[in-house]
Chains A and B, each alone.
Chain A
């Protein structure tokens, strides 16, 4: 039993509760938040791979002490290998995802502590609870445990928006909750139908039941469960029809909050997408639907990004559009495309966080986010301008930065799979993404400064610049050495195909 696996979830929860308890003591909040935020990316690097069974209840096949007292009709059946406890699975892919999530969380928390006048224990509580929830979603092999943390993640996201004090944030938070009240119960209904048909909430056992004929794979209730779980997945990740509310959520949060929220969405998409693929990949229609919805996400979101005038809304729509690339990787369904899609997820989480924090420096200086009222910021913040420009190049897929490698892999996988149309659309959307970014960059940094634009804060905090440089270093490393990430992902991709 590896105690570090549950600690990856328990530590941020415990930290969150303590931060809430001591929220009036600013120094305590800052020290505790920084210490735990540093630990978040370190723990997955030092933890060993393996499974963790809560309560120590391993399957009967691994527990001969209990098994020897049981009748043979139990020990010779599938019950012998079923998992009685909530199981957390920590393998190479989870190591990479939780490390990247921890890194983004650390940098977002560092930025929030340096940019806000008074450190808020309650705000930090929400951030840590969100990180804990998404970490649990990535680790869990129990679909009901996943739903519990899915709901916690949704509520913390709502809290992060409400804490931002941006105009219209309460309304957006309420709309997100109302839409969640449609999607989340349907996700739960899908899980309940799966439980009813298979008798299991453990995903490995559900997959075993379907593959070994214990349940009829073409059972209409199972197909309905597939549709409902996919609907919940659309809500959690921000794919259409939830793309408008997701981009609104990003625009109403503070930039460092938005950086963390988009990481939550990306890793929820990855975790739930992998689970849907594991259980329902035998249905050809499921993959067709994932491709269709991913294309819709790309086309609708990236075209809408071109029409926006709020810089956070532009990045928000681009972030949702980039999710389409990940979905295409999963939908094409080959080992190479799944590796490429998961690599794109890692890259996109980093780049979008980089862009939110980068453009967030402008919002920090001017308290303005409408690009029609901005300009001339290249003279005010030349270093930040250069870093933001590099982030934009990264998002567009310019070598030697990271998204180039993942997008190239995705295009190659679409060609190998005999669907060149997807490759054409991906290239077209990358060009339009760059065009959109350059529109925002020109409006904010390059054109002359409007006379009525006031600079409210003179200096950008060093911690913010440090965060941006760390993101840039990660982008360059993954761009020059993509195998640093893909080596972690290939095992998972190959296991999904078998």
Chain B
């Protein structure tokens, strides 16, 4: 493989467009499918709860989830790749969660 191919494969890997090298078994395929359906259906039902805050927000969120589902499917392989055991990935999400909590609890509560 030339240096150019290595770089292209690396970029594809970061973008999530690289092909899996291992064969996919039927159990893995059906598990991924079941997980995908579970994720989308539970997200849609959860988003309906936004009706307690604002009906308009709920409608926008539902349309957004459906649009993401249509254009970004399959989501589960990407979600699995994001939730790997990499320390960098975990620290990123921990700091992100901390930031969201700090913002929501400090500024969110002041206006509730």
Is B6 close to A, CB under 8 A? Answer: no
Contact residues of B with A, CB < 8 Å? 25, 27-28, 31-32, 34-35, 38-39, 41-43, 45-46, 48-49, 76, 79-80, 83-85, 87, 90-91, 93-98, 101-102, 104-106, 108-110, 112
Inter-chain CA distance A178–B95, complex, in Å, is: 13
Q: Which residues of A contact B106 (CB under 8 A)?
A: 220, 223-224, 227
B42 to chain A, nearest CB (A): 5
A178 to B108 CA separation, bound complex (whole angstroms): 29
Q: Which of B32, B39, B97 is in CB contact (< 8 Å) with A231? A: B97
Do A302 and B38 touch (CB < 8 A)?
yes
**Which residues 159-194 of A sit at the B interface, judged by CB distance below 8 A?**
172, 175, 178-179, 182-183, 186
A421-B80 CB under 8 A given contacts A172-B85, A175-B85, A183-B94: no
Decide: B48 and A299 in contact? CB cutoff 8 A: no
Please tell me if the beta carbons of A226 and B105 are within 8 angstroms of each other in the complex. yes
> Are B96 and A241 interface neighbours, CB within 8 A?
yes
- Closest chain-B Cβ to A464's Cβ sits at a distance in Å of 28
Contact of B45 among A178, A425, A439 (CB under 8 A): A425
Q: Do residues A224 and B38 form an inter-chain contact, with CB atoms below 8 A?
A: no
The 8 A CB mask of A215-234 against B (1 = contact, 0 = none) is 00010100110111011001
Known contacts A178-B87, A241-B94; is-contact A218 B38 (Cβ 8 Å): no
Contacts of B98 in A (CB 8 A): 182, 186, 231
Residues of B within 8 A of A307 (CB): 28, 31-32, 35, 76, 80
A89 at the interface (CB under 8 A from B): no
What chain A residues lie within 8 Å of B87 (beta carbons)? 175, 178
Task: Report the bound CA distance from A295 to B49 in whole Å.
Answer: 12
Q: Is A306 an interface residue (CB 8 A)?
A: yes
The answer on a CB contact under 8 Å between B105 and A245 is no
Interface residues, chain A, with chain B CB atoms under 8 Å away: 172, 175, 178-179, 182-183, 186, 218, 220, 223-224, 226-228, 230-231, 234, 240-245, 248, 283-285, 289, 295, 298-300, 302-304, 306-307, 309, 372, 419, 421-422, 424-425, 428-429, 432, 435, 439, 443
Give the contacting residue for A285; candidates B28, B102, B109; CB below 8 A.
B109
Interface contact A240-B97, CB-CB below 8 Å:
yes
A289: min CB distance to chain B, Å: 7
Q: Is the CB of B39 within 8 A of A421?
A: no
A306 & B94 in contact (Cβ 8 Å cutoff): no
The 7 closest A-B pairs by CB, nearest first: A227-B105, A241-B93, A306-B35, A303-B35, A241-B97, A306-B31, A227-B101
From B34, B76, B80, B94, A179 is in contact (CB under 8 Å) with B94
Kindly identify which residue among A218, A226, A230, A299 contacts B39, using a CB–CB cutoff of 8 Å: A299
Name the one of B76, B80, B83, B110 contacting A223, with C-beta atoms under 8 angstroms.
B110
Cα distance A429–B43 in the bound complex, in angstroms: 12
Residue of A nearest to B38 (CB): A432
